Structure 1
Amino acid sequence: MKKTVLVVTDWYPTKENPIVGCFFKEQIELLSDRYKLVVIKIVEKRVSLITYLINKYVNKTLQLNLIEKYKDIQQYELTIFVPAFFSVIERIKGILIKRFDPIDNIGKYYSVTYKNRIKQQMLMLKNMIAQPYDLVYGISSQGISYQASCLATIMNKPLIMGEHAPFPWPGQVVSNILKESLEKSDVFLAISNDKIRQIMLQNIRLRKICYVGNFVDEDIFQYKPIKHGRKTLLIVAAHSFYKNYDLFIDTMNKLKSKTNRKFKVVIAGYAANKGYSKDVEILEEKIANSDFSDCVELVKYVPRSEMSNLYNRVDAFVMTSIQEGQPVSALEAACCGLPIFATRCGGIEDYVTEQIGRIVSITDSELLSEYLRQFVDDEICFDSEYIRQSIIEKFGRKTYLENISGCFDELID
């Protein structure tokens, strides 16, 4: 009989935004081969005090809705209604706690009152989903670490935590409840060695680390090159600061001046992730004023089902990020046989060798453009079949499932 895993997240695809956390869903679907999975996406909704009191009176401060049920997966969305002024009060409490009872290396404090409120909410949730669970998995720790930890404690089950986003998230600081939850977890699932470094750099002592990498589905992302003319370079990235489009534009401008060969640039997905991609008109204006504007194709959004075709109609993948966890788009591109030209942004260095691509520092547009020139001018070349097989061996269906289920099964009685 399959064991049941309760997955808690605040980052998961919706009908309104099918891109956000789409790779989480793909991982869950793979795991359903071995486990029953109940996925709960937690959404906190701020309301007026009057609305909150009405909801509390009718016992509806929490609302659990079944979103989807298929295979051995049940997906729910939990909406927690919270008075807007609670966050203001909590912020004031945090400042006072930090001033009069400081703890080293903690930037944000949550009070005992806040923690008790979370515990009560999770107890209510546990009663709503009254069924036996064998394991709690907090798939995106920075948003729901304490909720996952509370559920594991209430159910007296093991806790596994993971993290895919920059740590800490840009503009944010580590909180006491995040540190406490990660240090309490039985296992931390690491998507890259750099992610381990990021977390431990915050003086967080992880009990046990299990490196699983990210998952790429070789059945979806296949090597089926589509014939085209000139060498084509692809970047797939939202328009945000740490994707560093400025470096990309600078690199392409330099490449244009270095080679006499005609090449093409495809910029895809820069407006796909709602709320994350911002000021896309500014990017479009920069591209229009660039030296390579005559050879660029702009694709604001690519349906997930079309990504494999996109990879297969280009020749190389370019990534200029400042920071990544284990960038899924680069794995997908490599699984389709593309060489990877990237900055040392994290995760990339776990698998990109000279047989798979080139890595430069996060500010070195000169060297990156030179490597790309060598590629465009056919001075360096790569074996696409070798690239694909290397990725499958490290991050494909069989390896990922064995890695993550090994961590799960060790904790499940």
Structure 2
Amino acid sequence: MNTIRTTLAGKEIVLGLTGSIAAIDGVRLGHALRRCGADVQGVMTTAACGILHPDAITYATGNVTLTRCGGLVEHVTYCGDGGSADLLLIAPATANTICKIAHGIDDTPVTTFATTAIGSGMPIVLVPAMHESMYRHPGVRACLETLRTWGIMIVDPRIEEGKAKIADIETIVHETERALSGLPLKGKTVLVTSGPCRERLDDVRVMTTRSTGKMGRELAREASRLGAEVRVVHGDTFSLPHVDNVHAESAGEMREAVLSLCAEQTFDYYISAAAISDFAPAAYEGKIPSGQQISVDLFPLPKIIQDVMQAENRPKTVVGFKLGWNSHEEAQHLLDAGVDLVAANTPDALGADSGAYDLITKDGCVHVEGTKTEVAERLWHLLR
């Protein structure tokens, strides 16, 4: 979460902390929200102040932490009708606080903010943290279900070591972004291919590209922030959070995975952001001896995007990426073949955190420059 993003730029978030030991994560959470552009106002219960000093949250947010509701009626100023805040985030939320909110009890600053926010219709994200036995209590579970029926977003805890541990910081920030996006892609399905492919040369060597998969990951994250159900086919050794991961090493494996997924369902969007291999070498058995000169035959591989467009369950919208110095000419070929949007760029963006892209459709071209997070935001803005 060290990357500076703009996904929460211009948003004011009230961060409520209650009396769980997980309150110590409030400093990192406050910093993480601010790195995404948010203005954060901390509010703490007396129990939370017994675990973490309010000055720590003041440091993290840059605003003086509220520990009581005073004569300025801060709960109304921030969370009442016409209040300045965009969202109330309660992290951590104890069993005590959850049940109080569900029953309209507001005897702490955080529950008073919650009652006010619920009455004004403000988006609320609640992040439980407690011992697992407390989390299993039927009354606590019933209260959580009540809050869900009121439209409150519950970020499920991690069940580890007999505790319902607070969700990780990245997940909390991601769910906050989702809650503030309005979920315009809710109900939509997205399939993304991402990262490089690795073609076997011998038993220890592969051929690949400088692609890191950053663009594909940001496109998948943005689709998830906007509410879509996202599947990502990639060759990374790790799993991308918040989406369904399908691992594929080579172009052949990626092609098989993509066509299999398309046979299962019709996707609303297919984003071909992977640097899919154009060629596969004639593989050697064993290890090519070091120090000797060899020649390698390269065999052309089929284009996955073409196979997808010819599939019986063709995705409703297809987006291709074209890398190269003549990318505009090649983009036109893709548009003529039925691709709906082509993101064209030069190799400078390969493996970099930022880049310049021309987003080309039959109706024209939009030039976008910035971080790959910003490029993903603009691309999805054009598509939806």
**TM-score by structure 2 length?**
0.31
Structure showing greater Rg: 2
**TM-score by structure 1 length?**
0.29
More helix by share: 1
